[in-house]
Amino acid sequence: MLLIDNLAVVAGIGVAILVSLELLALLVRHLAPKTGDSGAFERSAVDRLLGPSRLVSLSVAEAIVLDNERITPSIKRLIEHAIIILIVLAMSWLAIRMTYVLEDLVLGRFRVDAPDNLRARRIQTQLRVLRRLVAVVIVVVAVAVILLSFASVRDAGAGLLASAGLVGIVLGIAAQSSITNLIAGIQIAVSQPIRIDDVVVVQGHWGRVEEINLNYVVVKIWDLRRLILPVSVLVNEPFENWTRNAANLLEWVHLELDYRTPIPALRERFLSILHDSPNWDGSVSSLQVTSAGPSTIQVRALMSARDSSAGWDLQCAVREQLIDFLQAEYPESLPRIRIDNGDPFPKPSANISLTE
């Protein structure tokens, strides 16, 4: 009956604290604005810290029960051990969730959907990788503290330390790939060859960096597929980063045309297309004949755009409208195949004698 009474007291105190926490959370959610950046930190703190707070409340309830003089020493030691484990779990969970709250606070100030988001992408990349690294360290420390709270584990500590060198070598060999990716993930966070929302071309795929973890990177390809790459691949193998220093880039259109193409008229039409397009950033515009072959010339239209998406749309629009212009105004400019109707093998003249 004594144990049941103690458990009932723990349950009653725990329920009271949980009810208080829920009421406080409802109050904060009600007072904080529902949308926008205003109140986002309060909403994030409540949503992320409510779970660990429940575990802390249970630990407080058990600690209060320890003051009961009717508790036997064996039950008291059991409750003390349970409190230690709960406090370690609660504080570890709370510390991890606090990193998420800080991340939400920083991400709210540095948004990647802004036009000039280079600094925001740099900060977000570092923050997310470091947050995952801190979470791993917290979990490892928490597990070690919980294990050391058991007397049997402490007594076996000397033997564990004696064999730690051999176990470390074995684990290092077994987890060589994971350790390599972990170190590469830290290297990416520091040196930042890629960042969140960077436009990259890796292994022949064009896409945006959607997620950077400690051991792998997720690239969202243009057709909505996800390319999962080990971090070591991006550190050790070459790839293209189209937004390393800036998002703007050059695009070009190649046209194979006939020699009768009026280049000045084509250039004038090209410039008018650019001036009418919202995707052109106004910095580069050039149309030149870059090659002259046996039957056609090659014309290159060079233009600039604010980013790769706008550049692709601008490239397609210029190609389509230039072809429409030539079809309507100068159809003779379109490439064609010329055939010489003359005899390719003329007969030898009469004054030439063929001898063996």
* pLDDT confidence band for 354 (50 / 70 / 90): very low
> Burial, 72: exposed, middle or buried (Cβ in 10 Å; 0-12, 13-18, 19+)?
exposed
Per-residue pLDDT, 29: 53
Pair of tokens at residue 75: 């039950």
pLDDT of 247 higher than 60: yes
The pTM (predicted TM-score) of the whole model is 0.54
Q: How many C-beta neighbours within 10 Å does residue 5 have?
A: 13
Per-residue pLDDT, 321: 95
Q: How many residues does the chain have?
A: 356
pLDDT of 221 higher than 80: yes
Report whether 149 contacts 82 (CB < 8 A): no
Helical H segments across the chain, by residue range: 2-31, 40-65, 73-109, 118-148, 151-155, 157-162, 164-174, 176-191, 231-236, 263-276, 308-329
CA distance linking residue 35 with residue 46, whole number of Å: 15
Kind and range of the H or E run holding 250: strand 249-257
pLDDT digits (tens, 9 = 90+) for 309-334: 899 999 999 999 999 999 999 999 98
Amino acid sitting at position 316: C
Structural domains of the chain ordered from first start:
1-109 (no CATH), 129-246 (2.30.30.60), 249-333 (3.30.70.100)
Per-residue pLDDT, 166: 47
Report whether 42 contacts 101 (CB < 8 A): no
Per-residue pLDDT, 353: 47
pLDDT digits (tens, 9 = 90+) for 300-315: 999 999 888 899 999 9
Percent of the chain with pLDDT over 70: 60
Amino acid sitting at position 290: T
Pair of tokens at residue 65: 């029960």
Pair of tokens at residue 46: 């409540």
Of 20, 44, 21, 18, the residue nearest 32 (C-alpha): 44
Sorted by sequence, the CB contacts under 8 Å of residue 244 that are 6+ apart come out as 193, 198
pLDDT digits (tens, 9 = 90+) for 145-155: 887 777 766 65
